[in-house]
Amino acid sequence: MKSEEIRKTFLKYFEGQGHKIMPSASLIPSDPSVLLTLAGMLPFKPIFLGSERPKWLRVASAQKCIRTNDIERVGKTSRHHTFFEMLGNFSFNDYFKKEAVDFAWELLTKVFALPPEKLVIAVYEKDEETAQIWKKRIGIPEGKIYRLSEENNFWAAGPTGPCGPCSEIYYDYGPEAGCGKINCDPSCDCERFLEVWNLVFIEFNRDEAGKLNPLPSQNIDTGMGLERIARLLQKVKSNFDTDLFAPIMKQLPLKDEISRRIVADHLRAAVYLIGDGVLPSNEGRGYVLRRILRRAALHGRKLDLPQLFLSNLSGKVIDLGRATYPELSQRKKIIEDTIKTEEGYFERTLEAGLKLLAEMAKVQGKVWPGEEVFKLHDTYGFPIEITRELAIDSGATIDEEGFRAALTAQRERARAAGLSSDQLRKKLDLTKFPKTNFIGYNQLDCESKVIAVWLEEKMVILDKTPFYPEGGGQVGDTGIINVNDHEILVLNTLGEINGVIVHQVDRMEGIEEKKNVKVKIDASKRSATAGHHTATHLLHAALRSVLGPEAKQAGSLVAPDRLRFDFHHLKGLDIRELERIEGLVNEKIKAGIKVETIETSLREAQNQGAVALFGEKYGEKVRMVVIPGVSLELCGGTHVKNTGDISFFKITKEEALQAGIRRIEAVVGSPAKIYVVYKGKGLRDEIYRLMREHRLLMARREKVGGQKLLEPDIFEIDQEELDRLSHAVDSQDIVNVNKFLEHLLGRMDWLKERNLSLEKEIGKLEEKQVLDSADDFLKDIKEIKGIKVLIRELTEVAMPNLRSLSDKMRAGLQSGIIILASIFKDKVSFLVTVSDDLTGKYNAGDMVKVLAEACGGGGGGKANKAEAGGRDPSRVKEAINKVLESL
């Protein structure tokens, strides 16, 4: 049976069992706690956690998965992979253990016709229920049921999240295929037992503290590797002999079987990762991709494969998967180009790295020094796992501690990424280099020559550059250096316009002194930054106009998405001052004033009245940024050509920075419009929520107070009003923008205050109402085993009122047990009280736990008083009966 048919047969079988067939999710998970999709259940994790309601109670899928925890075993065994397809069926509080076992057994033995006598079962050692299902329901002999530890048979998708005991089905190849040990069982790493299918019974959620908390529902998650079931049904010796791998393996020479397997497996993983949008990098999932590509390249060397063999072979992997995963065909060029580029990067440093490796193997003996291993990692791009593997092949080990120390030291050096220009000058001796020719005011790209490189810091100096260096409050440019037809990212630019400019890059492959390169800045980031920078000049002028000439600049930050402006002023700005400042800035934006830059002498600039910033160092030649009639400042930053290009200005925050210094944060252009419109929508949504809450509170007040209240006039906010807000932004009408937002804020604050007042009033009325009933409740006391027991099931009584009620009834009861349950807002609250004379025999904390667990919750307390909550109010009576049975 071909793998495509196996996949279809699996899904068709479960479709016939009422399952909805789901397509494979991406290898890039939406769950931020997990780097890559490592199991078929991951796309359904929110359902297992109870945070999302399932659309279907039964689903099945064939899910693409990546796992790297066994990467060093890939190739050395017949069954381990980095990329694999997981066939799985899932139940969300529908069926549980018996049905999951029935489905698996029927599919394997009846549909796929595997011989039952060759199958053995493993269960979690504490899960006797599942062991008995296999034994009594399916008829598996006791000798073929193995009870294994938590390490083997308790499954989790990660360190936290949904988890539970599992039962695995293994194919037994017989003792002759194994390790020869008498006590060999499925937990052994030998080749005797092949795990075929894992049935996971998801019952718990493991929290950050490692505690297992019961999930609100019982769920099923199963996983069967397509590669493994294909191996059995195609009757071949290993996964690598199946039709999923054979066409790739045929392209590889027979010299070294382990290397052949590693190349085939890793290339397959790389193709699917890139197909889902992962690109090589030095961190996260990009590093996983880079690591497996480089490991594949090294093992290709062992097979004497030609350069760029991985990119040439990737088409075969795409052909094998295109029918099921058409996105591979759609992204064929980017897959091949990405692999080709990454191969090229590594190829250029590989020879030197391999020479260093060979030298270490000769000279270093049994332990390779950590610093040399780090050099391989940092300079030549050898992941530590690859070097470790090569050391083992040479009969040596590596100095792991020394490697980690070198890595830590490098990370300290890498903090140069956050250095200011002054700190950079102190750290790197820039005095011996000529000044960089900065051409970025008029050009966004150019051809340059590399003047100097720092490999460890990943820093580059060019003879000329369009990249603006961080300074004057403006962030440094980012962009691309193109060398040998491949792109290197410029992450930041440091230095100074009239001095040496240094580019921080993401990698150094191909960058050498005297090398000719092409460079290009990120134009959209530059444009957005320029808008915010010109806005700071307009803001500075507006502050001085509204607050007086002493409101001078004390610092700034200019970024593509925001600006921050610090200024001298003794007190906070009121609403009117802020509105006047916003109004002046938007007035100048609306006027569309041409922004000019003039180079002149410092003396001439001072004579013209140019504003110079205290503490800044200016040369004899200076650059003036002129906004006629508004602003004249000495500034080396980049600016828009016309104030109209800024579009719109909005202050987002005003606060004290320190004594005598205030700070304004603001946005312009698209970020400003997004801020205003989304803030308006957010306020509207909050008001609607408060309105709904207000109406519910009014109904509760009327119910407990017996008096109908007049509902205040609460307005509706329609889309037309929000559209008018958006139009006000487009037309720079700051007055109407602020009036509308202020009106929404005022209405929201009023509703919050009113709702809080109603809550307090209702609480007092409900408490009185509940306490007035206490005497009547005491008439319902029962006697169980000579103990007075009072049980009351209530509705819409909050926990504070349950406490008051319990205290009053306890005084009347004197000796006995009080069990109170209240269904409130679709949940249930429990309060158990035990009189002091009975706490030696009965414990309120133990009883409340029984109540909570029966209703899918938790809680606890002291022996005489305890509280708990539960998610399932429908099971209150069942919970109370369980407690009574235990008395």
CATH number of the domain enclosing 487: 2.40.30.130
**pLDDT the model gives residue 171:** 97
Same domain, 235 and 294: no
> Rounded to an integer, what distance in angstroms lies between the CA atom of residue 550 and that of residue 543?
9
Residue 446 inside a domain? The answer is yes
**pLDDT the model gives residue 524:** 85
**Does the pLDDT at position 416 exceed 50?**
no
**pLDDT the model gives residue 101:** 97
Token pair, residue 493, equals: 């630019």
**Does the pLDDT at position 78 exceed 60?**
yes
Q: For 325-345, how does the pLDDT look when each residue is reduced to its tens digit (9 = 90+)?
A: 998 998 898 899 889 888 887
Average pLDDT, integer, range 562-584: 90
Average pLDDT, integer, range 709-719: 55
Same domain, 437 and 490: yes
- Please say whether the beta carbons of 525 and 471 come within 8 A: no
> Rounded to an integer, what distance in angstroms lies between the CA atom of residue 229 and that of residue 491?
46
Total tally of structural domains belonging to the chain = 4
Range of the domain at 475: 419-521
Final residue belonging to a domain, choices 505, 521, 537:
521
Same domain, 272 and 330: yes
* Lowest pLDDT segment from 95-109, 537-551, 651-665: 651-665
Same domain, 424 and 341: no
Same domain, 73 and 164: yes
Same domain, 191 and 300: no
Average pLDDT, integer, range 732-750: 73
> Rounded to an integer, what distance in angstroms lies between the CA atom of residue 239 and that of residue 138?
28
Grade residue 367 by pLDDT with cuts at 50, 70 and 90.
Answer: confident
Q: For 242-276, how does the pLDDT look when each residue is reduced to its tens digit (9 = 90+)?
A: 999 999 999 999 989 999 999 999 999 999 999 98
> Rounded to an integer, what distance in angstroms lies between the CA atom of residue 47 and that of residue 41?
10
Same domain, 331 and 221: no
Residue 226 inside a domain? The answer is yes
Residue 457 inside a domain? The answer is yes
> Rounded to an integer, what distance in angstroms lies between the CA atom of residue 273 and that of residue 335?
9
Residue 622 inside a domain? The answer is no
Residue 540 inside a domain? The answer is no
**Does the pLDDT at position 614 exceed 70?**
no
Grade residue 414 by pLDDT with cuts at 50, 70 and 90.
Answer: very low
> Rounded to an integer, what distance in angstroms lies between the CA atom of residue 38 and that of residue 23?
16
> Rounded to an integer, what distance in angstroms lies between the CA atom of residue 581 and that of residue 583?
5
Q: For 97-150, how does the pLDDT look when each residue is reduced to its tens digit (9 = 90+)?
A: 999 999 999 999 999 999 999 999 999 999 999 999 999 999 999 999 999 998
- Please say whether the beta carbons of 430 and 500 come within 8 A: yes
- Please say whether the beta carbons of 153 and 125 come within 8 A: yes
Average pLDDT, integer, range 778-782: 79
Residue 79 inside a domain? The answer is yes
**Does the pLDDT at position 797 exceed 90?**
no
Residue 807 inside a domain? The answer is yes
Same domain, 43 and 125: yes
Grade residue 501 by pLDDT with cuts at 50, 70 and 90.
Answer: very high
Residue 333 sits at φ, ψ, to 5 deg, of: -65, -45
Residue 397 inside a domain? The answer is no
Same domain, 268 and 291: yes
Looking at residue 137, the DSSP 8-state letter turns out to be: I
